[in-house]
Amino acid sequence: MAAPVHKPVVVREFDAAVHSGRDYRTEPGGTVRATLAGVVVHVDGDQVVVESNAIWHLYRRLSGPTVNQGETVETGELLGSAADSSLHYEERVAPYQAGDHRKPQFDLHINARMRVVAPGDSAVEGAVEPPGATVTT
């Protein structure tokens, strides 16, 4: 599975009691891409939802989505640009309902988390932190 942004750095991991997901560091105007191929099932303002095999991938804080509901997208295809300094990304069991913050039943990133192993460094997919390293969440 691809990351939704270039040089992914997770800046915040949300407690599933509030809602699931994570925020990735972005530059305003930076590209946001599909993590998996699927069908765009929802586009609304700053949000896009792509369904991939009954898993809904939610992208928030987009500026001008470049896809429309009903379109098919491939892994890595452009969805829009980042509206500010972070992109919110979630995976949910379909169907998605606006305002539904149920605890997810899975986490596709559980074995491939994007981790920062030192301040200012890029994250490495599936990296194991060296002893004494800090992880930004």
pTM of the model: 0.68
Q: List C-alpha distances in Å: 128 to 6, 12, 25, 51, 68.
A: 20, 18, 20, 30, 38
Residues 6+ apart with CB under 8 A from 81: 28, 29, 30, 31, 32, 62, 63, 64, 66
Provide the percentage of residues in the chain whose pLDDT is more than 70. Answer: 62
The predicted structure's pLDDT at residue 104: 47
Cβ–Cβ < 8 Å for 1, 33: no
Residues 6+ apart with CB under 8 A from 18: 101
Digit-coded pLDDT (tens) for 25-68: 999 999 999 999 999 999 998 999 999 988 889 999 999 899 99
Residue with structure tokens 């539904």? Answer: 100
What is the mean predicted confidence (pLDDT) over 76-97? 86
How far is it, in rounded angstroms, from Cα 83 to Cα 93?
Answer: 26
